[in-house]
Amino acid sequence: MRRRDDILVGATVLAALVAIVGGALWLSESQLGKGGEVYVARFRTVGGLGVGDPVVLRGVRVGRVRAIRLAPRNWVEAELQIYEGVSLPPKPAIIAASASLFGEWQAGIINLEQPVDDPIVQRDLEEAMREGGDRWPGATLPDIGQLTAQAGRIATDIASVSSRIQTVFDSQAVLELQEAIRDFGRVSERLTQFTQQQTEILGEVGVNLRQGSDVLADAARSLSNSLARVDSATNQGQLLTILNHTQAAAENMARAAADFRALLSAARENQASLLRIIEGADSVATRLRDRSGTLGLLVGDSMLYVETRLAVAELRRLLADIQANPRKYFKFSVF
């Protein structure tokens, strides 16, 4: 009986010890047999980070927080046990942050060679680095409680502003605001009409511009063609010929100009003769007006004119007869 008691009690105690020790190790995720390196990170505050919290690298658990203690110069140091075989970044730093909305915290390893988005975190890391030593720099993100508190303060401020706006906007202000809105609507309507008109004008201008640009394009094409022809002409020596012809024409024109100048000079010299001719013509015209002289009499006396016309007619008939019957009037004899 006594031996049986011993066996039963021993078995029960052993089972309980196994349950307690094994369960505690399993729940705490202790890495028995896995030593690993211990590193120390320096923070201004660790927030909600506690002993036993996980250390993660790119989301993968690579260790645990082994201890947290206060350090000189208002620093807090956290000992991080990193499992063996973990390849750490070349310049590691620690970000303590909430792992979920329910109060879990973790220490995340980041690479300082990559830029940090949050300026406050960047500032904290730089401050920790300036302290020197072999400690990893650390920074802490605000937990969900701080964020919700901040959101609560913002909500309170918004409520306060809303209350003040409600106080400012009495019934008169609302009426004025309504009137202002109606005025604004009218202005908007006019602005819309004006804009529509300007749009139509601009459309027409655009059409004209397009036509003008088409003309210019045609001119450019013509010029391009001309240039091409000039180019081809240049290539075949025709331009040189044209230029030579042009030079000859210019010389001819120069000579013509010289002749014209000589002609003008001669004209100036004959100006007196011309004046005399003009005076004579004037005298003739005067005598014609006065019905004196042969022409005057001829012009003024219709009878004379008629007889003259008859005489001329007789003369034409005589000439015609002479042409028709020359032997009647002329006789040529050689022998």
Partner 1 sequence: MYRTLSLKVGNWLAAAGRTGHFLTDTARSVRDVPTWAGLTVAQMRRIGVDSVPIALFIAIFTGIVLSLQASYTFTGAVPLYFVGTLVGKTVMLELGPVLTGLALAGRVGANIAAELGTMRVTEQIDALETLAYDPLSYLVVPRVLAAAIMFPIVVSLAILVGIISGWLTAISLLDLSTVEFVRGLKLFYQFKDIWFGLVKSFSFGVVIALIGCFKGLSVRGGAAGVGRATTEAVVASAMAILVLDAFWAVVLL
Shortest Å, Cβ 5 to partner 1: 4
| Positions of E strands within the chain | 37-43, 54-57, 60-71, 75-82, 92-98, 105-111, 136-140
- The answer to whether residue 151 forms part of the interface with partner 1 (CB under 8 A) is no
Shortest Å, Cβ 77 to partner 1: 21
- The answer to whether residue 59 forms part of the interface with partner 1 (CB under 8 A) is no
Q: Read off the tokens for 164.
A: 């003040």
- The answer to whether residue 2 forms part of the interface with partner 1 (CB under 8 A) is yes
Residues between 28 and 47 that touch partner 1 (CB under 8 A)? 28-29
The answer to whether 100 and 89 have CB atoms below 8 angstroms apart is no
CB neighbours of residue 80 within 10 Å = 24
The set of residues, in sequence order, having a beta carbon less than 8 Å from that of 290 and lying 6+ positions away, is 296
3-state secondary structure of 123: helix
Query: Which of 32-40, 99-107, 148-156, 272-280 is the region at the interface with partner 1 (rule: CB under 8 A)?
Result: 99-107
Q: Find the Cα–Cα–Cα–Cα dihedral 282, 283, 289, 290, rounded to 10°.
A: 160
- The answer to whether residue 12 forms part of the interface with partner 1 (CB under 8 A) is yes
Which CB atom, from 7 or from 177, has the smaller least distance to partner 1? 7
Q: How many residues bind partner 1 (CB under 8 A)?
A: 21
- The answer to whether residue 145 forms part of the interface with partner 1 (CB under 8 A) is no
Q: Mask of contacts with partner 1, 101-140, x by CB under 8 A?
A: -xxx------------------------------------
* β-bridge pairing 54-57 and 105-111: parallel
Task: Give the footprint of partner 1 on this chain (CB under 8 A).
Answer: 2, 5-6, 8-9, 12-13, 15-17, 19-20, 23-24, 27-29, 52, 102-104
